[in-house]
Amino acid sequence: MTDPLRSLADLTSLVDRAAAVADRVNAGGGVPPVPILACEGAVRVTAVPPGYVRIEFLDARCFQLGPEALGTAVTRACSEALVRLRQSIDAAAALDTSAVPGEFAAISERARDSFASVLDTVKRLQRSDGR
């Protein structure tokens, strides 16, 4: 007879492992943020995994450029930061994105088996209670 507590613990462990894989992918494999300065250092654009951009206006004089020039400079800095971030993520040895689908498939298979075991145990207990 299958131990329902053990099956539930296995299922919980598999869900935790799946969450850890997702966190690792979302974190970009531990790649640090990529800062780029624009407008002669008046604006800092930072790209962070998995692909977010933070823009900081360090010196109000950058607004004197006008909206079009400022927008162009910030857009270029964002593009450069994201390209460098992508290169860093691709180069990170700790993150093999080609292995992720296989890992999730294995986790899913074991989770399905554990969940089926838990359900079978619940059904048996219901039958033994006469329900």
DSSP state of 97: G
Regarding whether 109 and 59 lie in a shared domain, the answer is: no
Residue 131 in domain: no
Regarding whether 61 and 35 lie in a shared domain, the answer is: yes
Residue 15 in domain: yes
Identify the pLDDT of residue 97.
Answer: 62
pLDDT digits (tens, 9 = 90+) for 90-118: 777 455 566 667 777 777 777 777 777 77
Q: Is the pLDDT of residue 80 over 60?
A: yes
Task: For the chain, give the number of residues.
Answer: 131
Regarding whether 35 and 24 lie in a shared domain, the answer is: no
* Nearby residues of 97 by Cβ (< 8 Å), 6 or more positions away: 25
pLDDT digits (tens, 9 = 90+) for 8-65: 666 677 677 767 766 666 655 678 899 999 999 999 999 998 889 999 999 999 999 9
DSSP-derived secondary structure for 49-65: TTTEEEEEE--GGGGGG
Contact by Cβ (8 Å): 73, 40: no
**Model pTM score:** 0.53
Q: What element of type H or E holds 38?
A: strand 34-38
Q: What element of type H or E holds 9?
A: helix 4-26
Range of the domain at 67: 31-91
Identify the pLDDT of residue 79.
Answer: 95
Regarding whether 80 and 67 lie in a shared domain, the answer is: yes
- Give the total number of structural domains in the chain: 2
Q: Is the pLDDT of residue 2 over 60?
A: no
